Amino acid sequence: MIAILELILFVYLAGCVLYNLLLAIAGRLSRKKEISYRNTERFAKIAVLIPAYKEDSIILSTVASYNRLRYPVDRFEVVVIADSLQPRTLMELAATGANVLPVKFDKSTKAKSLNAAFEHLGDDYDLALICDADNVLEEDFLLKINHAYQEGNYAIQGQRVAKNLNTPFAILDAANEIIANHLYRKGANALGLSSSVIGSGMAFHYPLIRQILAEIQATGGFDKVLQLLVIEKGHTILYLEDAYVFDEKITHAAVFENQRKRWMSSQLVYLRTFWKKGWAELFKGDLNYFNLAVCQNALLPRMLLLAALTFGTVLCFLLQSFILVPVYYWLVLFALNIISLLLPIPGKFFTRYLFTAMLTLPRAIGIMILLLFRLKGADKTFIHTTHTQTGIDNPLLDAARK
């Protein structure tokens, strides 16, 4: 019985490693496409939707940054869905020229805020761009999104990069984002699959997203439902690597714990929810749906995968006489996992930040292991992450663009 469990565990971990490695290699071999977005003559009308829950410290700076965007001013509108903001913040927002929509819910969610915006705005838009309250867009972001839309893409995910690298946890979080972008967005597109979405910096054909959001009531991880509904309606999700959205990275352990608790809980919930349908769609030939509904939800989080492989390799080395799977199989699997993690990382990160990230990693892994026993009910609770970073301080920016 123990031998069977060992074999099942090894096969599962091997599946996770090989899945990530395939995407890492595909992403590395994929060439970045140069897009002539400045030659576009048609400009979609874009609603920039910013759900802001108790984000008084950051939202004014974010809205001000949107005045620097290179896009016809009559073809985009910044809409702040102001959930529980202070009266003074509302007054100052109104003075910026943004469309401010005050809302308040018994139980706040991003989906509720967005649906309130759609009810308020009407239909006079081509695209909806969903951003978080801390997100800052590069100056040509809307031009690039518009170009992709004019080429027939109805679901587009921009590249989210770190706003800040000011603490060890921020550096680790930035590395995690770089790897995720490379694997599940760039690598997936390179293999002909849909990119996964991140929850912000994502644009959709306005009628499409308005219809989809009306079907979503999720508390946490609403983006996991959103991407499946996009695929169900016959669209693929394009990862626009050249469109940068700056996102605040977590700065300390408590924020990391809250964030990962929400992510891990929603992953388990949606794995159970979409397991049967995911397999059914695979047998119908829809690999895209299966990939996002089953593969990515069944995938062990990368930090936990690294911990499991490290523990398994050491344990098998010590108990070689009692194990079924040879220890060198574990060593090979461990090495392949390391390769899948290192392939996406830009060279500049190795010279400046790798040591700091490595020192923080054991604590982060420890937090995630403890969270495995504290996930109950997390998917039913809105866990808010407070943001404070107004400026962009990321020396890795140029590396992230290569």
Domain range list for the chain: 2-29+264-381+393-398, 37-249
Cα 61 vs. chain centroid, distance in angstroms?
23
Coil vs helix vs strand at 215: coil
In angstroms, the CA 345 to CA 334 distance is 18
Of 44, 35, 382, which Cα lies nearest the Cα of 217?
A: 382
In angstroms, the CA 173 to CA 1 distance is 39
In angstroms, the CA 61 to CA 52 distance is 12
In angstroms, the CA 172 to CA 373 distance is 23
Q: Where are the beta strands (DSSP E) in 227-280?
A: 238-247
pLDDT by residue, tens only, the chain of 402 residues = 677 888 899 999 999 999 999 999 999 998 777 777 777 889 999 999 999 999 998 999 999 999 899 999 999 999 999 999 999 999 999 999 999 999 988 888 888 999 999 999 989 999 999 999 999 999 999 999 999 999 999 999 999 999 888 888 888 888 999 999 999 999 999 999 999 999 899 999 999 999 999 888 766 678 899 999 999 999 999 999 999 999 988 877 777 787 788 788 888 889 999 999 999 999 999 999 999 999 999 999 999 999 999 999 998 888 877 778 888 899 999 999 999 999 999 887 777 787 888 888 888 888 888 888 776 655 555 555 666 666 676 766 653 444
In angstroms, the CA 305 to CA 310 distance is 8
CATH class assigned to 37-249: alpha beta
Of 117, 131, 133, 121, which Cα lies nearest the Cα of 60?
A: 133
